[in-house]
């Protein structure tokens, strides 16, 4: 394989399963254990097109068609300007 990392130019990659966060218009989907190739130097993650397509489809089914999902998390949201220094 002659793939080169777009960020650091490294040529060594490892396969890994990672958490992928999909976001459109303030709607989110988190998918765990998504297979990817990860740069061994900088950690940049590369996903196959069919993997991303699958996640996009799931996102659309959940947010547009109300597909029932197994687990939901509540995520805190802050405005950076409102953060107080302790
Ligand atoms: Zn890299």
Distance 44 CA to ligand 1 centre (A): 5
Is the per-residue pLDDT at 1 higher than 60? no
Q: How confident is the model at residue 77 (pLDDT cuts 50, 70, 90)?
A: very high
Report yes or no on whether pTM surpasses 0.85. no
Distance 50 CA to ligand 1 centre (A): 22
Residue 74 CB partners (closer than 8 Å, separation 6+):
none
Q: What is the mean pLDDT of residues 56-70?
A: 95
Q: What are the φ and ψ backbone dihedral angles of 68, each rounded to 5 degrees?
A: -75, 130
**pLDDT tens figures, 14-51:** 999 999 999 999 999 999 999 999 999 999 999 999 99
Q: Which of 49, 51, 40 is nearest to 15 (CA)?
A: 40
Residue 86: its pLDDT value, please? 73
CATH topology of domain 13-82: Ubiquitin-like (UB roll) (3.10.20)
Residue 2: its pLDDT value, please? 66
**pLDDT tens figures, 43-53:** 999 999 999 99
Distance 63 CA to ligand 1 centre (A): 33
Contact 1, 21 (CB under 8 A): no
Distance 4 CA to ligand 1 centre (A): 8
Mean residue pLDDT of the chain comes to: 94
């Amino acid at each position: 394989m002659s793939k080169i990392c777009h960020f650091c130019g490294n040529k060594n990659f490892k396969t890994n399963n990672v958490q992928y966060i999909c976001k459109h218009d303030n709607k989110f989907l988190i998918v765990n254990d998504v297979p990817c190739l990860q740069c061994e130097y900088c950690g940049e993650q590369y996903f196959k097109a069919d993997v991303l397509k699958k996640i996009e489809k799931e996102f659309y089914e959940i947010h547009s068609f109300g597909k029932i999902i197994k687990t939901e998390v509540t995520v805190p949201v802050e405005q950076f300007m409102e953060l107080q220094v302790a």
